[in-house]
A and B are shown apart, each in its own frame.
Chain A
Amino acid sequence: MWDYTDKVMDHFLNPRNVGSVENPDGVGEVGSLACGDALTLSFKLGPDGRIADAKFKTFGCASAVASSSVLTELIKGKTLDEAMQVTNQDIASYLGGLPEQKMHCSVMGQEALEAAIANYRGKHDGAAAVKKGNIVCTCFGVTDEEIRKVVRENGLSTVEQVTNYCKAGGGCGGCHGRIAELIVEVQGEAVKTQIASPPKKPAKLTNIQKIQLVQQTINEQIRPALRADGGDIELIDIDGNKVIVAFRGMCAQCKVSGFTMKDVVQARLREYVSDDLTVEAEKNPESSEHKS
């Protein structure tokens, strides 16, 4: 059972400003049914250029509803420039804190606000907000820009924290390496030791050494990332520089397992073992959904 503050429960049970503003000046939609939470925010400006009314509709858990409700309270009466200063931390602290795994709910509120203001300023239409940057997490559609932002604004230093704050890396796990890079990029080298200290890549390997190192890399570097998301990997064979593996568990059904294979498995093996390696999925009759 989640340990929600009284404030969260109050805003969940008695949400303020539910609905849609009539003839809104700005509308922002973020999230989706598939992601497990979604928020539509609409606002109307008064003659003084301040937000006169703001309403929301939210699909999601108690903390998502409460974050949305607080967001509308926070931005009312503010100018758009003032509203832009509202961060996810403001939402979370107004609520007396959120469980760490639920911080993404406060981030969703802030993103909806940005989308709505962008919509008003005519940069793009809020219904299909064009994301800035390149998609990093294909499972939840999170871009590098969004990850940099949550890392910077919340002082995050681990992949797990990033997942808690914006969901990136919470699906197949294929992007964990890229998220770690982004953390280092934002926070500097100081956090690097907390992520992973890669072993020195040996210059020349005997076959036995190569096999052992491949196995070790899979066990220590690749498998934990996949297992964190209910997936797994099995080393089937090594033929020269060709490493044959099979995905198990969630990875076997993951729509983006192709990316995982190339961007995680092959990248890690090249990083830790040898640049000459190529990775292939096992061609087997055991792959899932093969017949009735």
Chain B
Amino acid sequence: MSSPKTTRSGSVSGSCGPDCTCRGPIPALDDLRSAMPKQDPKSVIYMDNNATTRVDEQVVAEMLPYLTEQYGNPSSMHTFGGQVAHKIAEARQRVADLLGCLPEEILFTSCGTESDNTAIKGTLAVLPNKRKIVTTRVEHPAVLTTCRDLERHGYSISEIGVDRQGNLNLDELGFRIDDNTAIVSVMYANNETGVIFPIDEIASIVHSRGVVFHTDAVQAAGKIPLNLRNSAIDMLSLSGHKLHAPKGIGVLYVRKGTRIAPFLHGGHQESGRRGGTENVPGIIALGKACELALKYRVEENTRVKSLRDRLEAKLLASCPDCMINGNPEHRLPNTLNISFEYIEGEAILLLLNQFGICASSGSACTSGALEPSHVLRAMGVPFTAAHGSIRFSLSRFNTEAEVDFVAEVMPKIVNRLRELSPFVKR
């Protein structure tokens, strides 16, 4: 990739910013691309880290021997298998260090969704007389769909709303908890907007009412500091592939003394709380990923945050009629959800894709549904803006050059689609 300086001296006129006057015919994409720095077609600019992340090479190195050489079953009596158990104990300690809890409070699962299901259904199973779940309208489907399915089985669900900036209504939360409530589940940070909820405060409110509190921290873990030792959180879900471990490994933190029934019945693994042979390489990979997350946590909140802020500032300056979705003050350091009015998200993503840029959208068209993201709708983002929403989510592997490239390409894509749009009057 050549330096940004070369690009600015290129032939395309105007920045297509607020004062842009270029109104010529639609530039063919090749013209658009030739104006861009030459990019290695194999290199991808990955800004979709809230969807999944690249596995860190150190993580791969750590797990590899447990696929090829040390493939034993940790439950076995022989040393060959048994020695793996020590490595699992080490991984458990590393996860506990990231979360600030005890290793015996860590339960390994197959993914974030299994952790969420275990927390909710496992709690309901030990509290047969309580039939209500309180959650939010902006939860990930792992929680929301689970709750709505439970509703079909006779449970009642209360979903707390959010305001225009995506902040939870805490008064409403307190109001909805009653004697019949078995569990409250509120996500730590929203996957689409990155808005962080005041989880410690919420946990205290819930605890003071004597109700179990679970949080889906799949997006928060590794990105912002967590310290469960000083918090009233009873259960917390985490997913490996969101923090540079492979897919297929998750964690449910269960505070000591919290009663929970197993979700998967089977052998005695995980102290009898989750049957099924351990995903040994996955667990070891996650341990290493958590160790690295702890190491890079400062960087995540400084360098990655400044990259995100740089991208945000550049886009706001160069693209008219765009706006940030979600409370800018309480947001994950890596997430930028931005709406471009009058144009549609899927079209933006496909053009970004032409430049090897990976992002995602809350537009209806990307999912096959006809209505845009449930999170943006719950926030009351107008449909006109929700259809054109794009989420960029960064990681420690992103560079300033990548951010500058995206900031260079984006206004041209926006301008091109607006040339096509009947809602832009010129």
Which A residues lie at the B interface, using CB under 8 A? 2, 9, 12-15, 18-19, 29, 33-34, 36-40, 57-62, 64-65, 99, 101-102, 140, 163, 167, 170-171, 219, 223, 227, 229-230, 232, 234, 248-250, 253, 285-286, 288-289, 291-292
Contact A13 B346 (CB under 8 A): no
Contact B368 A13 (CB under 8 A): no
A-B pairs with beta carbons under 8 Å apart, 30 shown: A2-B346, A9-B350, A12-B347, A15-B420, A18-B26, A18-B419, A34-B383, A36-B364, A36-B370, A58-B422, A59-B343, A59-B422, A59-B423, A62-B350, A65-B420, A102-B365, A140-B370, A163-B370, A167-B370, A170-B369, A170-B370, A171-B370, A227-B148, A234-B151, A234-B156, A248-B157, A249-B148, A250-B374, A250-B377, A286-B176
Contact B354 A57 (CB under 8 A): no
Residues in A neighbouring B77, C-beta threshold 8 A: none
Interface flag for B74 (CB, 8 Å): no
Residues in B neighbouring A38, C-beta threshold 8 A: 422-423
Bound-state CA distance A223–B152 (Å) is 9
Interface flag for B384 (CB, 8 Å): yes
A15, A37, A248, A286: the one contacting B151 at CB < 8 Å is A248
CB distance from B167 to the nearest CB of A (A): 12
Contact B158 A29 (CB under 8 A): no
Residues in B neighbouring A289, C-beta threshold 8 A: 161
Bound-state CA distance A115–B161 (Å) is 41
CB distance from B160 to the nearest CB of A (A): 9
Residues in A neighbouring B171, C-beta threshold 8 A: 291-292
Residues in A neighbouring B345, C-beta threshold 8 A: 61
CB distance from A34 to the nearest CB of B (A): 4
Contact A230 B371 (CB under 8 A): yes
Contact A249 B420 (CB under 8 A): no
Interface flag for B312 (CB, 8 Å): no
Residues in A neighbouring B374, C-beta threshold 8 A: 230, 250
Contact A37 B29 (CB under 8 A): no
Which B residues lie at the A interface, using CB under 8 A? 25-26, 28-29, 137, 148, 151-152, 156-159, 161, 169, 171-172, 175-176, 342-347, 350-351, 354, 363-366, 368-372, 374, 377, 383-384, 387, 419-423
Bound-state CA distance A110–B352 (Å) is 29
Also in contact, A14 and B29, with CB within 8 A (given A171-B371, A248-B157, A250-B374): yes
- Across the two chains, which residue of chain A brings its CB closest to B370? A170
Bound-state CA distance A229–B175 (Å) is 27
- Across the two chains, which residue of chain B brings its CB closest to A100? B368
B346, B350, B365, B421: the one contacting A57 at CB < 8 Å is B421
CB distance from B158 to the nearest CB of A (A): 7
Bound-state CA distance A29–B423 (Å) is 11
CB distance from A282 to the nearest CB of B (A): 11
Also in contact, A33 and B365, with CB within 8 A (given A59-B342, A234-B151): no
Contact B342 A33 (CB under 8 A): yes
Contact A36 B344 (CB under 8 A): yes
Bound-state CA distance A102–B148 (Å) is 27
